[in-house]
Amino acid sequence: MSISGAHPRPPLQDSARPSARVLRLLGRVAIHIALVGLGITWLIPSLGLFITSWRPPADIAASGWWTSLFRPAYTIGNYLQVLTAQGFGRSFVNSLLITVPSTVLPVMLGALAGYAFAWLRFRGRDTLFLIVIALLIIPLEATWVPVLRMFNDPVGYFKLDWVPFLSDIDVRLTGSFLGIWLAHTGYGLPFAIYLLRNFFISLPRELFESARIDGASNFAIFARIALPLSVPALASLTIFQFMWVWNDLMNALILLQDVTKRPLTVSIQALIGSYGAEWHLLAAGAFITMSVPLLVFFALQRYFVRGITAGAIKG
C-alpha cells in the first residue's frame, strides 16, 4: 500500500552500464596503445643497431638505416671482420669466462646466506643483516683503490709478511680471472643476500617445521625444500648478476690489465678509440655484446616478475 499522494518509483534504468563498459574499454585501449608505443620507442634503437650491423659501409655513409627496410642490401662481412681481424672472438670467450663464474658464485653464496638469515637463529643475525644491507649503498668507485692495492700485494695489505710460506710466493690477483671473479662476487653478494633472504622468509613456516620434525638437517631442508621453491628468485638474481657482469667495463679495465684477457666491453671501448668512423664495425661489435644478455633474459623472463616481487609483502 503506497503512501497517500505518492506514486511508486519506477525501476532504475540501467542506462549507466553501457557507458561504463565503453569507458572501461576506452581506458584499456588507451593503456595498450601507450604500452605498445613505449615498447616501439625502446625497440627502435636496437632495431636500428641490428640493421646497421648488416649494412655495407658505403650504404651506412650514404643513407639512414631505415632505407634498408625498402631497399635491402646486407652483408655478413662486418661480423666476420669484427670476430677475426678485431679479436672479438677471443674477447667473447673472455666475457664468458668472466661472467659465468662471477654469476654462479654470488648466486650460490647468496642462497646459502639468505637461507641462514631467514630461518636460522644465531647471535647477531639481525645486526649482521643490517650491515649487509648497508653495503648496498657503498659506491663501487670508492672500492677500486683499496681492492686494487689488496690484489697487487695481499700479503703486505693484510700484514702477513711474517708468514714464511706466503712471503716466498706470488699471490697477486691483479690480471687474473680469479681476481675479477672474487671482485664481482663481493660486489654482488649484498644484493643477492637481500633478495633471496626476502624470498626465503616469505615461504610457509609449516614446511620447515614439518621437515625438522621428520629429522631433516638444515642443509637438507635448504637443498630439498628451499631451493626448489626459490627458482623464480634465483632466475631473477641470475639475470641481474649476469647482465651487470657482462656489461661491466671499469672493473675489467682496472683489475685485469691484460690485453689477452679483456672482455667484449673493453674491446668495444678500444674499437671506439681506434675506429671511431667505422660504424659498420662498431654496430656489429655492439650487437654481439648485447646479444648474449638478451638471450639470457628471454630464456629466464617467465621467472623474472615472480622472482623480483618475491618477499614484497612479507619480510
Q: pLDDT of 166-202, one tens digit each? A: 666 667 788 889 999 999 999 999 999 999 998 899 8
For residues 261 and 27, the model is more confident at 261
Q: What pLDDT does residue 169 have? A: 65
Q: What is the mean pLDDT of residues 124-144?
A: 90
Domain 84-308: assigned CATH number: 1.10.3720.10
- Cell representation of residue 171: 699471490
Report whether pLDDT(120) > 70.
yes
What are the C-alpha distances in Å from 152 to residues 51, 92, 144, 211, 252?
44, 26, 12, 47, 15
Q: What pLDDT does residue 68 have? A: 84
Q: What pLDDT does residue 61 have? A: 83
Task: Kindly report which listed range (4-13, 27-36, 70-79, 132-141) carries the lowest average pLDDT score.
Answer: 4-13
In which band, very low, low, confident or very high, does the pLDDT at 313 lie, cut at 50, 70 and 90?
Answer: very low
Q: Which residues contact 20 (CB under 8 A, 6 or more apart)?
A: none
Q: What pLDDT does residue 315 have? A: 43
Q: pLDDT of 88-102, one tens digit each? A: 888 999 999 999 999
Q: What pLDDT does residue 314 have? A: 47
Contact by Cβ (8 Å): 135, 191: no
Q: pLDDT of 196-255, one tens digit each? A: 998 899 888 888 888 888 888 889 999 998 998 888 889 889 988 999 999 999 999 898
Q: Which residues contact 208 (CB under 8 A, 6 or more apart)?
A: 119, 221, 225
pTM: 0.80
In which band, very low, low, confident or very high, does the pLDDT at 162 lie, cut at 50, 70 and 90?
Answer: low
- Cell representation of residue 104: 654462479
Q: What is the DSSP letter of 240?
A: H
Task: Could you list the beta-strand ranges (E) of 32-157.
Answer: none
Q: pLDDT of 101-118, one tens digit each? A: 999 999 999 999 999 999
Q: What is the mean pLDDT of the chain?
A: 83
Cα–Cα distance between 71 and 238 in angstroms, integer? 41
Report whether pLDDT(81) > 60.
yes
Cα–Cα distance between 298 and 286 in angstroms, integer? 19
The amino acid that residue 1 corresponds to is: M
Q: pLDDT of 8-67, one tens digit each? A: 555 545 455 667 777 788 888 888 899 899 988 888 888 888 898 898 988 888 888 888
Task: Kindly report which listed range (128-132, 171-175, 258-262, 302-306) carries the lowest average pLDDT score.
Answer: 302-306
